[in-house]
Structure 1
């Protein structure tokens, strides 16, 4: 049912001239899903309060609740089409009354970690791009069919939402900015092994994939106490995100995974001066895939002891600083970080090796990130003691990876198993820190067992990818025809 509802929503959004990409679909679906979720959450809390003989104070005033403007019901609980706004009336209410009202919550909120603040932040950053009130009515009716009440329902919705994020991530050349392959994240989480009671931080949170997978990892073991659940809900997961669309998606993704009030702050992480970070600001674990290739302004670089325009290098300094003594990190970074000869790269490798135990480097194959043609590595480290030995693992799935054959959990199973013992193999080896050149601190991936294997693609792989690309092209052309046809009728 949920899958069909999502398809129906997408079909309607496709008709909108203001929604031209996967990013727009996900954004517009997100704010509506958020309001539908908020309504269900408030109804549950009101019912709970009634059973306990107390009065519940609703967050939203009555005219702005989902049940009032989006999906009014009659006495039998069925949709009341006479009361439901549509057409220009609906669009004007959303644009001129609903969004300004919700944005106002930011000023009224007690702090950035409250649901009120997040409501204000979300509706101050995004705009309604569904300009036809009739299309908006149709989408709302489909959204209203969805239920968030049970864990099973949330689980199914979270899978569908993850699929939307994946499509959005794969849609453009900056795909990795929004979507880190979930098998890679799951492997990183399993190596870092977070425990209940530890705080987990991602300062470049994107769509919150790392935090969601860490939540799933911690809840999968079962037998959690009420106290455990409360810890997971309130003081385990923390993130920061600069871009407004990613911020909204991160909030919604965490909600669908079961975290009702995510501790995600909308801010430019790199605008914080490292000198101002105190012990109370630090976390037990950092899990992240910071954006790479970006260039930060000079005034932002002033916040860091090692000054560089490369965004990912600034983030790595930030992550090291944000870890508590004994804290653990799993961070994705471009593989050129290991060997670049510029002063900033050399200084940063020196900092990492001297302030942390860089115990593992996972070398990822090209094609790990769809839409991003860079090779990456994952750095696993523990803060507080210098590096003595680094274990490398060269991930080689034995095939060329692309959209038709992406990274999967099976590809990483051996790495997760062998990493526990740091055993040598044709794909893995260790390097003593004492042998690292103190002038360059070069950490290049140099497999003593024969180097990187050349993977030859099979004819079937090539044919499959051509077929997939043809299918995508046909879809794009079909959608363009729909838009042109709609414009002609207008």
Structure 2
């Protein structure tokens, strides 16, 4: 049976169970089962390595809680031993009352070593709960999961691809698709422009499903010399992230594991809860890649952690990222395009701060529909910290078609931008803006293409509707900020 069919069968079973209600539940439940299956393979590999060296391997999990004992006890013929295998109520009670509490305790036991896989086990199982209510359905899911091999790199590659597809579907199904899924062609283009190097620390403070970190791992792995030191550096000292939401944290950890990162450096925390005035050099990074969530939702006590106070989450994240970059550090940040022109004081102050403290050398203007299900238009800010902005190269991506779920962004769409960004040419869809010409009252950075042919000047109905939607969002954001000031 193919991996794809196995995933589909697990989804079909979850659909029948009364405890899993949505795509989000499906991937959450699939994730904890897959994680334990992966952990068993990892432990077996380490035990085999130790045996070859004549050493003894100390298993992380006690015998009762290892996959071959509770999930898939097998007979001498290699098939499930139905006399030993729990099912029905017995299985659900074991998982809920014994397995999850036991695994959750690892967070406390390993609190001094948050980078260890033991700590990750504790984090995952103290945050997630088993939502599968039927022990008979859970038994079938465990049997399907047992068929998924994690040892060969080709297997892992296929599994990671399927898992990414599940994340993408989950993003498309939810109201906030961008929260979980940034289109991978866009991520790959951003990484190509930033060009991270082995030995640099790469950070995403709004990690979500860890798409940026997974793609950065692939980029570095393909290009670096495969020495023991480089591989160790890539695994342990290169990729760092923070994520606030329970489910996204678990999905991100699992996604990185499937991409080959054994113990991901992802911290489960609200990034915006950190006072940016406390960020020191040792906390800073060479490269930041992110697509922070947007919306006016942050409370006043969170806003106190920032010099420029606003309820807009993405604007707080942008301040955090600027502060978290080393001098000469490079960033590529996806942000809603209204940030470039919002007229509230916080947005104007933040644009001024960005231009004065960083060299914003490129703004990539993405077409509507890039983020399927998210309903917003975005830009990508590329900047280097430590010197003021003099010139900005704008590039308006035009894929020559309307984008959406059935016609998503692809790598070919990004090819021209990636190939010409260093030259920064003047074309019909790209131009240089001299920051000396900026309106110093508004610091408006909205793209105004001086090279667009006059016959194209008339806007399409779609563009007009898009602008109306953006103005509605802007008004809503301003009203939220006014209400906060009044209260």
The yes-or-no answer on 1:164 pairing with 2:170 is no
Contact 2:214–2:256 (CA<8 Å) still a contact in 1? yes
Alignment of 1:91-490 (within 5 A): 91-109=92-110, 110-221=112-223, 223-450=225-452
Equivalent residue, structure 2, for 1:29:
30
Alpha-carbon offset, residue 81 of structure 1: 2.2
SS at match of 1:391: strand
Counterpart CA distance in 1 for 2:20 and 2:162 is 20
Equivalent residue, structure 2, for 1:68:
69
Counterpart CA distance in 1 for 2:420 and 2:296 is 34
1:413-467 per-residue CA deviation (whole Å, 9 max, x = no partner) reads 111111121111101000112111222211111000127785699xxxxxxxxxx
Contact 1:398–1:455 (CA<8 Å) still a contact in 2? no
SS at match of 2:287: strand
Equivalent residue, structure 1, for 2:475:
none
Please provide the CA RMSD for this pair: 1.3
Contact 2:198–2:224 (CA<8 Å) still a contact in 1? no
TM-score by length of 1: 0.91
Equivalent residue, structure 2, for 1:16:
17
Equivalent residue, structure 2, for 1:468:
none
SS at match of 1:167: helix
Equivalent residue, structure 2, for 1:54:
55
The yes-or-no answer on 1:88 pairing with 2:83 is no
SS at match of 1:285: strand
1:150-190 per-residue CA deviation (whole Å, 9 max, x = no partner) reads 11010000000000000000002111111111111111111
Contact 2:224–2:230 (CA<8 Å) still a contact in 1? no
453 and 210 in structure 1: CA distance in 2 versus 1, 3 angstrom threshold: farther
Counterpart CA distance in 2 for 1:153 and 1:50 is 24
Contact 1:399–1:456 (CA<8 Å) still a contact in 2? no
Counterpart CA distance in 2 for 1:146 and 1:456 is 49
1:377-433 per-residue CA deviation (whole Å, 9 max, x = no partner) reads 000000011111100000111111111101111111111111121111101000112
Bigger shift: 200-209 or 410-419? 410-419
Counterpart CA distance in 2 for 1:288 and 1:100 is 33
Alpha-carbon offset, residue 362 of structure 1: 0.2
Contact 1:400–1:456 (CA<8 Å) still a contact in 2? no
SS at match of 2:16: coil
Counterpart CA distance in 1 for 2:190 and 2:232 is 25
Moved over 6 A (4+): none
Counterpart CA distance in 2 for 1:453 and 1:76 is 73
Structure 2 residue ranges without an equivalent (≥5): 463-487
TM-score by length of 2: 0.92
Counterpart CA distance in 1 for 2:228 and 2:54 is 22
1:105-163 per-residue CA deviation (whole Å, 9 max, x = no partner) reads 11100232221111111111111111000000000000000000011010000000000
SS at match of 1:374: coil
Counterpart CA distance in 1 for 2:316 and 2:29 is 32
SS at match of 1:371: coil
Bigger shift: 132-141 or 215-224? 215-224
Counterpart CA distance in 2 for 1:452 and 1:142 is 57
Counterpart CA distance in 2 for 1:90 and 1:452 is 65
Alpha-carbon offset, residue 78 of structure 1: 3.0
Contact 1:185–1:209 (CA<8 Å) still a contact in 2? yes
